[in-house]
């Protein structure tokens, strides 16, 4: 399942939207019971979760559930979400490792009650607080369930990350580069190898702008993105899928290096650049990703 290149937000109270999400082939759907659900519909959203997750599982699509910030009702939200097919919970506005550890324990209890193997469900911390951003590496280290830190790449319309950090989002995004890169590094340093970026803050129908943000997320190091509109899923899948040119390049690189090894060499010139053992892991990862897409 991991890395998940594209995740599409779906308000969990809109039961019929799950089938629409499946039709655009995201890697996962983010069943939301937080910001996109009006308060009066949150009980209905929770009631829908298990049937929605089952529908996603049958379609081979991952299922994230974005719960509300940790509070007295979190145990009930997690109990409503944990079922076979749940890939991870997204924890918004996380500030401390203790919150991650609390969610870890609640998930362990819910998994036991649901008859699932311990550790089945992952955690994606969404640190929309200054403290959470600052301490993101320790958020990643707080539980073996943490699959990746959930960051954000925004267009000129500011959201929770901008408000908490204090920057003013622009189309160029220079003010976000430090935070976006830091969260990727913190995630990987903490052992959570699949950081994800939410793509926000730009008009939904401005597809070139959406693609620029997704490419920025990929180039910074995020292994996938969460998007808000079905038309953005195909863009994300295409951006994260290795191109034919990349496949040809890395296939040739590996072949050239194998020939060099047979000649007793540990480095070789390939397309004008020196290649040694340090370049091989990336080449193999790219080719493995390309094979996974076929």
For the annotated binding site, the residues are: 66, 128, 160
30 contacts: CB under 8 Å, gap ≥ 6: 7, 8, 9, 10, 64, 65, 66, 90, 226
Number of C-beta neighbours around residue 86 at 10 A: 27
Query: Which among 126, 123, 128, 121 has a CA at the least distance from the CA of 143?
Result: 123
The residue behind tokens 């995004």 is 173
Point out the annotated binding site for substrate.
66, 128
Work out whether strand 267-270 and strand 273-276 pair parallel, antiparallel, or are unpaired. antiparallel
| Tokens at 94, concatenated | 């996380």
- Interhelix angle 280-293/244-262, nearest 10 degrees: 140
- CA–CA separation, 197 vs 177, rounded Å? 12
Q: Do strands 6-11 and 28-32 pair parallel, antiparallel, or not at all (unpaired)?
A: parallel
- Going through the chain in order, the beta strands assigned E by DSSP cover 6-11, 28-32, 62-66, 86-92, 122-126, 150-154, 196-200, 224-227, 267-270, 273-276
Cα 183 to Cα 166: distance, rounded to the nearest angstrom: 16
Q: Binding site for Mg(2+), residues?
A: 128, 160
> What DSSP line would sit under 55-77, residue for residue?
HHHHTT-EEEEE-PSSSTTHHHH
């Amino acid at each position: 399942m991991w890395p998940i290149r594209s995740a599409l937000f779906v308000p969990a109270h809109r039961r019929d939207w799950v089938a629409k999400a499946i039709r655009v082939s995201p890697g996962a759907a983010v069943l939301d019971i937080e910001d996109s659900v009006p308060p009066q519909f949150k009980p209905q959203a929770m009631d829908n979760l298990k049937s929605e997750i089952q529908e996603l599982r049958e379609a081979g699509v991952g299922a994230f559930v974005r719960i509300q910030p940790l509070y007295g009702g979190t145990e009930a939200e997690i109990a409503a979400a944990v079922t076979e097919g749940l890939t991870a919970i997204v924890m918004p506005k996380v500030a401390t490792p203790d919150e991650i550890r609390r969610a870890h324990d609640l998930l362990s209890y819910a998994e036991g009650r649901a008859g699932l193997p311990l550790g089945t469900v992952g955690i994606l911390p969404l640190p929309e607080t200054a403290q959470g951003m600052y301490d993101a590496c320790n958020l990643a280290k707080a539980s073996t369930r943490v699959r990746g830190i959930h960051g954000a790449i925004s267009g000129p319309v500011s959201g929770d990350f901008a408000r908490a950090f204090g920057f003013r989002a622009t189309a160029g995004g220079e003010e976000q580069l430090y935070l976006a890169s830091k969260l990727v590094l913190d995630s990987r340093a903490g052992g959570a190898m699949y950081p994800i970026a939410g793509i926000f803050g730009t008009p939904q129908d401005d597809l070139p702008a959406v693609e620029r943000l997704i490419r920025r997320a990929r180039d910074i190091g995020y292994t996938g993105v969460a998007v808000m509109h079905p038309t953005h899923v195909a863009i994300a899948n295409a951006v994260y899928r290795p191109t034919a040119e990349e496949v040809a390049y890395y296939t040739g690189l590996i072949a050239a290096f194998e020939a060099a090894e047979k000649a007793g060499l540990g480095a070789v010139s390939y397309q004008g650049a020196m290649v040694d053992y340090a370049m091989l892991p990336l080449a193999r990862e790219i080719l493995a990703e390309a094979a996974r897409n076929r």
